[in-house]
Amino acid sequence: MSKILIVEDEVAIADLENDYLELSGFDVEVANDGLIGLQKALEEDYNLVILDLMLPGIDGFEICRKIRDDKNTPIIMVSAKKDDIDKIRGLGLGADDYMTKPFSPSELVARVKAHLARYERLIGSAAEVNKVVEIRGLKIDTTARRVWVNGEERAFTTKEFDLLTFLASHPNHVYTKDELFSEIWDMESIGDIATVTVHIKKIREKVEMDTSNPQYIETIWGVGYRFKM
Ligand code: CA
């Protein structure tokens, strides 16, 4: 469940925002004071912060700046004055969105959902940056195109790497040499299925402890090869 922090000194507004967000299934906390709000935002992990601008003690500008020094939590800034929005933009505080009071609570909920979805996509795509296939002692970073065997890096040619990665990405699937050739080599390539055999031999020399008893790429006699899971 997404956790949302509301920093708002007007209790009636804070309650209204709180009720609508809770009804939409969010876990909500409210701080009616700027300093407490800032402390919570920095110490706890919220998925989003709704931040009022005019607060006693420390204002929303300062809170936004301090959160941004430390965290990427999406921030929606809320103000009673339209002029403030221009000021927020002008200061480049790193707020993700701005709303002018009064706003409809359902509009707030819609924006909260949109920002959470956008943030999750960002986090998700960052997590996918390096795709790694790891099977027993063999580790293939398909993004960086690097291979390790029992922690030791091995160098592969482009086609060796492509062939190994293709097989390791489809474990236990038996491929004929024809299938592998058309998968890894484009049509204009000079070569034939013997090329596949040669490359398999080279890959085995790099990844197998004992090439006569392969642990990774198995020969299926009369058919082709498969990567053992
Ligand atoms: Ca206020």
**24-59 residue pLDDT tens:** 999 999 999 999 999 999 999 999 999 999 998 899
117 and 139 belong to one structural domain: no
In this structure, what DSSP letter does residue 72 have?
A: -
Residue 172 C-alpha to ligand 1 middle, in angstroms? 62
Residue 31 C-alpha to ligand 1 middle, in angstroms? 12
Residue 51 C-alpha to ligand 1 middle, in angstroms? 9
The tally of domains found in the chain comes to: 2
Q: Could you give the CA distance from residue 158 to residue 27 in angstroms, rounded to a whole number?
A: 50
The tally of CA atoms less than 13 A away on the side-chain side of residue 215 is 12
In this structure, what DSSP letter does residue 73 have?
A: -
At CA 90, angle to CA 86 and CA 95, rounded to 5? Answer: 85
Kindly give, in sequence order, each residue whose CB lies less than 8 Å from that of residue 157, ignoring residues fewer than 6 positions away.
202
pLDDT at 125: 61
214 and 153 belong to one structural domain: yes
Say what angle helices 158-169 and 177-184 make with each other, to 10 degrees.
Answer: 120
Residue 10 C-alpha to ligand 1 middle, in angstroms? 6
104 and 17 belong to one structural domain: yes
Q: Could you give the CA distance from residue 108 to residue 90 in angstroms, rounded to a whole number?
A: 23
101 and 146 belong to one structural domain: no
- The mean per-residue pLDDT over the stretch 137-163 comes to 92
Tens digits of residue pLDDT in 170-201: 999 999 998 999 888 866 566 677 889 999 99
Is the per-residue pLDDT at 148 higher than 90?
A: yes
The CATH number of whichever domain residue 137 belongs to comes to 1.10.10.10
Residue 111 C-alpha to ligand 1 middle, in angstroms? 20
Of 87, 103, 124, the last residue of a domain is 124
7 and 118 belong to one structural domain: yes
Residue 208 C-alpha to ligand 1 middle, in angstroms? 67
- What is the extent of the structural domain holding 193? 128-227
98 and 181 belong to one structural domain: no
Q: Could you give the CA distance from residue 19 to residue 21 in angstroms, rounded to a whole number?
A: 6
Picking from 157, 149, 144, 169, the residue whose alpha carbon sits closest to that of residue 195 is 157
Residue 30 C-alpha to ligand 1 middle, in angstroms? 13
Is the per-residue pLDDT at 126 higher than 80?
A: no
Q: Could you give the CA distance from residue 186 to residue 202 in angstroms, rounded to a whole number?
A: 20
Which residue would you say has higher pLDDT here, 186 or 227?
A: 227
Of 67, 100, 124, the last residue of a domain is 124
Helix (H) or strand (E) segment spanning residue 67: helix 60-70
Q: If you average pLDDT over every residue of the chain, what do you get? A: 90
Tens digits of residue pLDDT in 66-111: 999 888 899 999 998 888 877 777 677 888 888 998 899 999 999 9
Is the per-residue pLDDT at 133 higher than 90?
A: no
80 and 140 belong to one structural domain: no
Spatial strand order of the sheet with 97-100 comes to: 27-31, 3-7, 48-52, 75-79, 97-100
pLDDT at 194: 86
178 and 202 belong to one structural domain: yes
64 and 155 belong to one structural domain: no
Residue 70 C-alpha to ligand 1 middle, in angstroms? 24
100 and 140 belong to one structural domain: no
Is the per-residue pLDDT at 203 higher than 90?
A: yes
The CATH number of whichever domain residue 31 belongs to comes to 3.40.50.2300
136 and 186 belong to one structural domain: yes
